Structure 1
């Protein structure tokens, strides 16, 4: 049973966004080059690790803790390996940046 308190506390949701595949429609909408591989950030939730790291809808996660991710399977595999901290390489507006590190 999901209590109201649990359902309203998004701070426990990991990583705090929905990872979606980079489809042809996403490439067109975000004007992405075919060389950009990763997963697109959608539905960033407030008060979560993703919000703390300042991820935004439409960002492309290209690496987790320095390990390249090209699709959802690789994204979740690398996210699952994160032990005590995580950072993301994000492609946005034609460039790639590395987020700060979120410790847990």
Structure 2
């Protein structure tokens, strides 16, 4: 997916209502997870699993993700993290 023409979200758009469920793309445009929820200044990402079952929640700083909307209005983010790197982060506990 070419993200160069996608519109970056502004700071006031970084809310749970907008970000929950957003797909996260990592290196080589691989889907690495989905936003579960926000936890302070961190974004909790569900990594792995299938349809939300067996996914591992991990928290990363929001500034490690570049949130944007595609041509259809769907919100997603890109990051330099790989799925393997995210899986190595300790599981997030609320």
Structure having the higher Rg: 1
- After TM superposition, the score normalised by the length of structure 2 is 0.27
More strand by share: 2
More helix by share: 1
- After TM superposition, the score normalised by the length of structure 1 is 0.25
